Structure 1
Amino acid sequence: MEKKTEKTQSGRFEVAFNRIHRCLKDMVKDAGSDAFVELLNSGYKNHSIIRKYKNELYQFAKLRNAIVHEKVDMDYYIAEPHKSVVKRIEEIAAHFEKPPLAMGVASSPVFYYYDDALLKDVLKAINKFEFTRFPIYDQSNEYKGLLTSSDIIRWMAKQLTSNVISLENVKVRELLRDNKKYYVDFVAEDTSFYEVEELFDSYHIKDKKLQAVILTENGKSDSRPKGIITPWDLLDPDPTTD
């Protein structure tokens, strides 16, 4: 039987599988062993990227075992996976090696205001852009809180007198005084989408609702916001697609 010298589908599959395996070993540190399936079983609870591809990876592990066990020598395989399977595992390997950035799904630019801004200016932004969450800062660029469209509606309901609400000279800080504390976190702009997912999950486990993740250059709260992610943004089934 003549040995194949070109790169087979099986060879490409095994290379991609090994790329994922290396990423799993770097990612999961508390597994009982470095076996592929063991890493999946140990890592899926703490890593959203593993949860996303877990079922496919289990199937790939079975296919890999079948292919490798049927290998005749170093360069020849009896079984050959379908091209679509090879393409898929190579895509997943690329996602593990270079996860999509959170900025890819974040709303950007961010409409944020200083606490001495006028409420009517915020209302103009809501009317024009339909944004519903606005980070608020003081003049020292210290983050003061999150103002939501629901907060504005509640404030207006309290101010309603004789069917008239006066917005003249009303400043944002007046709405923050009685505003409940929203959970907001900050991450660097080069943070991966899956890390942000894990951040939302960590709050959920603590029975807390994370209203927004604000992306800044260095991940600090006193840095200018470059993007904002809300729970709605996580509903995108695949952040890697355009």
Structure 2
Amino acid sequence: MNTTTYSLSERYEVAFNQIHDALKKQVKSRSDKFTSLVHAGRHHRVISTYQDELFQYAKLRNALVHEKTELGYYIAEPHTEVVERIEKIARVLTSPNYALTIATKDIIFFQMEESIEDVINGIRTYNYSQYPVYHDGFCVGLLTAKGIVKWLAERMMGSIVDLSHVKIKDVFQNEKEYPLAFASKSSTIFDVEELFEFYHQKKLDLEAIIITENGRKDEVPLGIVTAWDLIEIDYTAD
């Protein structure tokens, strides 16, 4: 937008409408009313970050628009800082980052027939706590450091455990089944937040979302997103 062409009020209204349209696309709500969408979308990190401001912007927008006495006439002009702020929020909401931007990308994954020693060496080298496991070309779940430690504790004789002949499948069959979802590389942060919320509504704690080319279990993992990745997103910095 050429900001020298439009008044502050016009810029404000355009940005507000862009936010409203983005909320209608991203948030599931029985009402398309702006404030209802903001309230319904509070499980989204970005919306919850801006929630108080969005409610205030709705009040200002109503005052500017509903009190018009003629076309193109506004009763007041919002401050430049306010307009620039709502335009920033509009840019964030209309062009959300891809989920891969917050995902752990150097994914280490294993096949069922590999040695458990390979995983332990992976933990030592990469310090990851969970590793996707594949069998016959499909991801079948996560093997976690916690699960390995539990398996070792149950089989330890004195202070020695012989792992030379132990395969991942031997440990994995006793691993807790962690809810795992998949998403395509075109998925946005909004999309993965919706997946976490979907599982939450089913009273399941989604362990992670694996990003692949097309969101299929038989594709190479490109990244992995956990709930912690979403929590750590910082939308407050300008």
TM-score class normalised by the smaller sequence = 0.7 to 0.9
Secondary structure, counterpart of 1:155 in structure 2: helix
1:156 aligns with 2:152: yes
Match of 1:218 in 2: 214
Match of 2:101 in 1: 104
1:115 aligns with 2:112: yes
Which of 50, 55, 60 does residue 58 from structure 1 map onto?
55
Secondary structure, counterpart of 2:125 in structure 1: helix
Q: Quote the Cα distance in structure 1 between the aligned partners of 2:209 and 2:236.
A: 19
| Letter of the structure 1 residue corresponding to residue 64 of structure 2 | I
Match of 2:35 in 1: 37
Equivalent residues, number:
235
Match of 2:77 in 1: 80
CA drift at 1:192:
1.0
1:194 aligns with 2:185: no
CA drift at 1:21:
2.3
RMSD: 2.7
Match of 2:139 in 1: 143
The range that moved more, 125-134 or 211-220, is: 125-134
CA drift at 1:53:
3.4
What TM-score do you get using the length of structure 2 for normalisation? 0.86
CA drift at 1:163:
0.9
Answer whether contact 1:193 1:239 (CA < 8 A) is retained: no
| Letter of the structure 2 residue corresponding to residue 22 of structure 1 | D
Q: Quote the Cα distance in structure 2 between the aligned partners of 1:112 and 1:155.
A: 19
Pairing of 1:19-34 with structure 2 (within 5 A): 19-27=18-26, 31-32=30-31, 34=32
Pairing of 1:176-195 with structure 2 (within 5 A): 176-195=172-191
The range that moved more, 64-73 or 127-136, is: 64-73
Secondary structure, counterpart of 1:165 in structure 2: coil
Which of 164, 167, 170 does residue 163 from structure 2 map onto?
167
Match of 1:230 in 2: 226
Q: Quote the Cα distance in structure 1 between the aligned partners of 2:237 and 2:134.
A: 34
Secondary structure, counterpart of 1:225 in structure 2: coil
Unaligned runs of 5+ in 2: none
Which of 90, 93, 108 does residue 93 from structure 1 map onto?
90
Match of 1:10 in 2: 9
Secondary structure, counterpart of 1:198 in structure 2: helix
CA drift at 1:65:
1.9
> Residue by residue, what CA displacement relative to the aligned partner does 1:140-187 show, whole Å, maximum 9, x if unpaired?
211222100001100111121121111213211111122221110111
Q: Quote the Cα distance in structure 2 between the aligned partners of 1:137 and 1:215.
A: 15
Secondary structure, counterpart of 2:207 in structure 1: strand
Cα distance change on mapping 1:197 and 1:114 into 2, 3 Å: same
Q: Quote the Cα distance in structure 1 between the aligned partners of 2:89 and 2:140.
A: 40
What TM-score do you get using the length of structure 1 for normalisation? 0.85
Secondary structure, counterpart of 1:163 in structure 2: coil
Q: Quote the Cα distance in structure 1 between the aligned partners of 2:82 and 2:202.
A: 38
> Residue by residue, what CA displacement relative to the aligned partner does 1:64-104 show, whole Å, maximum 9, x if unpaired?
12223455755554523233322221122122222111111
Secondary structure, counterpart of 1:210 in structure 2: coil
Unaligned runs of 5+ in 1: none
Q: Quote the Cα distance in structure 2 between the aligned partners of 1:186 and 1:239.
A: 25
